[in-house]
Structure 1
């Protein structure tokens, strides 16, 4: 049984690496194509769609994106080493701290260029409007998830990948016994992860890709990367769709707060479910 679990994990990791490679090649090809397209048809304004302004994004931001997403991409680049071991409270705190640090770097870069708060829509004119967008997007994703489940997505994945395995943080939550461990996981999953991941992926990676390609491509690629970096092949499809939805939400709401709220709702409700049903999972 152990060998089977390792085999499934290795196979899933290989697929995640392939997804990452496809995304990387797609970004290079799309960037080269749009450079040519801009030179031949300078009047095109496709990347001005939506409320996410990319006029102040510069080529150096490409390197910035590589740097702030490095902790995520390393999980794909590293070879498979077997089932993930349980992390200590200090290791958990450090991992969430790394997320905050990378998000802080994004905010620092924007601040140094006098791009805050406008770039991220941190001071929306109508907070209730932003709140409604966030909650509405979450409801839409839940309906989409139910539709996918009824369409047999879980059964289809299980027939090809074997019995589903939990994402590491989900397994950590199920196994958590110590109070401090649970508090770190709850704070990290419900507050830190939504805040940091949205600033990094929707607040920075998406606008940079949008600037040098186009909105639809940027939303799809950042969504797929977002799904892949969570390290669970069984969750790639729903998480990728969630990432795409968050990019669309950002465009229509014009504020990163709506994305953070939607993401936090998703994580918090899942955490509440895990804490109440953990022994039965």
Structure 2
């Protein structure tokens, strides 16, 4: 019989989450160093490697690799270590509400982003506004555009929601309670995006997605909201080039 711990404690605990974070950092370093060096070596755009298609492709490969690391670590420390089922990571149909929760989460995500932008602009802190995380060349070269689309609309929603909501939030909720667990998973979610300007709004968005999971008992609404958020951003970036 499959164990499902929506409100209670999951088989994995704080030690597993700490180990998962450590393995993720290690994986990121092991990916970033060789691919980063390779990007510099192959770049033909001088010091600005972000304008070189080959170098950008390597960096996108590192990004996709990090998403795989997140997914594999989450699965390894739950399914692999404790024989947990998909439902314990939130991969099941919503137990309350429905897939409409995804729309609410998406609206909530844009509200968080909108409030942050309004506050930052009101304070005159233009340098703290979120910036495009990928260079323009990623949207000018069809192969790079395709790779970017697959990464942000397929790999990222599945891997990041499984890790940060299913694994981290799910593991912390029964020990710390929903508010602290949502905050912790949101902050960690923002850190993985490697851009100071998005840390505050993305932490808030991570909290919104965690609350969608807490309400529905499923990470499917968060995955769909994440996919839609990324798809809109991706479409706007492609249209602007």
The TM tier, using the shorter chain, reads 0.7 to 0.9
Higher relative contact order (CA 8 A, sep 6+): 1
Q: Deviations over 1:158-194 (max 9, x none)?
A: 25xx37572432x3x5653221111000110111111
SS at match of 2:90: coil
Q: Which residue of 2 aligns with 1:207?
A: 170
Q: Does 1:188 align with 2:151?
A: yes
Q: Which residue of 2 aligns with 1:141?
A: 109
How far 1:238 moved relative to its partner? 1.2
Alignment map for 1:156-167 (pairs within 5 Å): 156=123, 158=125, 162=127, 164=129, 166-167=131-132
Equivalenced residue count is 217
Structure 1, unaligned stretches of length 5 or more?
1-49
Q: Does 1:234 align with 2:203?
A: no
Of structures 1 and 2, the larger Rg is shown by: 1
| Residue from 80, 84, 87 that aligns with 1:118 | 87
* Cα pair 2:71 2:163 within 8 Å, conserved: yes
SS at match of 1:119: helix
How far 1:239 moved relative to its partner? 0.9
1:273 and 1:211 map into 2 onto residues whose CA distance is 39
TM-score, normalization: structure 2? 0.76
2:193 and 2:168 map into 1 onto residues whose CA distance is 16
* Cα pair 2:165 2:209 within 8 Å, conserved: yes
1:157 and 1:243 map into 2 onto residues whose CA distance is 25
* Cα pair 1:167 1:230 within 8 Å, conserved: no
How far 1:52 moved relative to its partner? 4.7
TM-score, normalization: structure 1? 0.66
2:235 and 2:129 map into 1 onto residues whose CA distance is 21
How far 1:131 moved relative to its partner? 1.5
1:254 and 1:165 map into 2 onto residues whose CA distance is 31
Q: Which residue of 1 aligns with 2:37?
A: none
SS at match of 2:92: coil
SS at match of 1:276: helix
Q: Which residue of 2 aligns with 1:258?
A: 221
| Residue from 8, 17, 35 that aligns with 1:62 | 17
How far 1:58 moved relative to its partner? 3.6
* Cα pair 2:108 2:205 within 8 Å, conserved: no
How far 1:217 moved relative to its partner? 1.2
> What is the RMSD of the two structures over their aligned residues, measured on CA atoms?
3.1
| Residue from 71, 75, 80 that aligns with 1:107 | 75
Say if 1:63 and 1:149 are closer, same or farther in 2 by CA, change over 3 A.
Answer: closer
Q: More deviation in 214-223 or 64-73?
A: 64-73
Structure 2, unaligned stretches of length 5 or more?
34-46
Q: More deviation in 204-213 or 246-255?
A: 204-213
How far 1:126 moved relative to its partner? 6.3
